[in-house]
Copies of this chain bind each other. A is one copy, B any other.
């Protein structure tokens, strides 16, 4: 049982390259090649492939929107040049079954297509490491725009507030006086435009300062 694939990328060279790699495998069949979003959606709905390989950036309808439209009909593998954090998040929210960088190499591409066809999901290692950095306890800064403008010390205090520490505990943790902690907190609150420490915590959590 061969895996039927629709390939969509507006760059002809890339599209040909993808197809070439896929056609070299005898368990994979490329049933359509498209050069923009709408035609990809149409092809998927008409041909009902097992997998749709979509460039994330395409004319008229980008890969993410196209993925959203066909996510119920087929497994979508996103191909892209850059593993931009925001794009990855949005793609994963859409529910794609794969996320492959264009420079990942044939083995990864083939593994992603086969994984998608099998109901699994493969994410390019370069992207995965970024994901883990942002999600894992080991990963750190990822400075959110909303927290920009805070000084280093203020960020320290904000992070501890977000973990539920009282001012006295924060003072002890950072070897400061409670007065200093309060000063940092008042200043940070003013800059962040929040009214109390729980809103600070909410901001810290939603911005990824703490997890």
Contact = CB atoms under 8 A, between A and B. Distances in A.
Interface string A165-176: 110000000000
A31 interface: no
Interface string A105-125: 001101110011011111111
A135 interface: yes
B119 A129 contact: yes
Interface stretch (A56-64, A91-99, A149-157): A91-99
A138 interface: yes
A191 to B, nearest CB: 16
A148 B93 CA distance: 26
Contacts of A120: 124-126, 128-129
A132 interface: yes
Contact of A198 (B135, B138, B201): B201
A162 B131 CA distance: 25
A194 interface: yes
Interface of A: 89, 92-93, 95, 97-98, 107-108, 110-112, 115-116, 118-126, 128-129, 131-132, 134-139, 161-166, 194-202, 205-206, 210-211
